[in-house]
Amino acid sequence: MLVIQPPNEVFSARNNHSFKMFLAGGITNCPNWQQTLLTRMSREDFPYLTVFNPRREHFDVKDIDAIEQQITWEYNKLRASNLVVFWFAKGSINPIVLYELGMWCNSRPEDHCIVGVDPEYERKQDVLIQTYLARPDLVVAQDFDRFGEAVMMAIRDVFGEDDVQEN
């Protein structure tokens, strides 16, 4: 598994042909759910999986150039992804994630996505209702364990049992 964070890019034949997953979800004022999910995923070996993780260790929200770079990186990686997973974390309204849900999941029913929402997320009903209206067959995971299980199941489905190795 290869994890890429902004503003980085990896140019290789392996990455060029890998299955790509974007971690869409809260970054500011919320738990580091991305690291929790990546830790869970690292227990298995997915050699041809590239994960785009938009969370940076250090990000200056007042730097206009850094903001443009971040948004452009995310936009390009969302477009390049085979799977987008959305986690609505408590602690923030996640306004950009709400936009991304509409843009990259609910308005594109042909795209594969997984949606999860923290039980304490203050706009939980908005996510549930909007997603149900746009994609009634999409089940929204309502806790992180179910969300993580859905992500792992989707990845296993792509790679098949023979291509996944437990560490």
Which CATH number do you get for residue 48? 3.40.50.450
Helix %, strand %, coil % for the chain, to 5? 45, 20, 40
Find the angle CA(128)-CA(106)-CA(97) to the nearest 5 degrees: 75
The residue segments making up the domain with residue 18 are 2-56+64-166
**Structural domain total, the chain:** 1
- Rounded CA-CA distance 17/81 in Å is 12
Question: Nearest-CA neighbor of 24 among 37, 11, 12, 13?
Answer: 37
Question: Nearest-CA neighbor of 121 among 101, 104, 107, 103?
Answer: 101
**Global confidence as pTM:** 0.92
What's the confidence (pLDDT) of residue 15? 84
What's the confidence (pLDDT) of residue 167? 46
What's the confidence (pLDDT) of residue 12? 86
pLDDT along the chain (167 residues), means of 10: 93 89 93 95 89 90 91 95 96 93 91 95 96 95 97 91 52
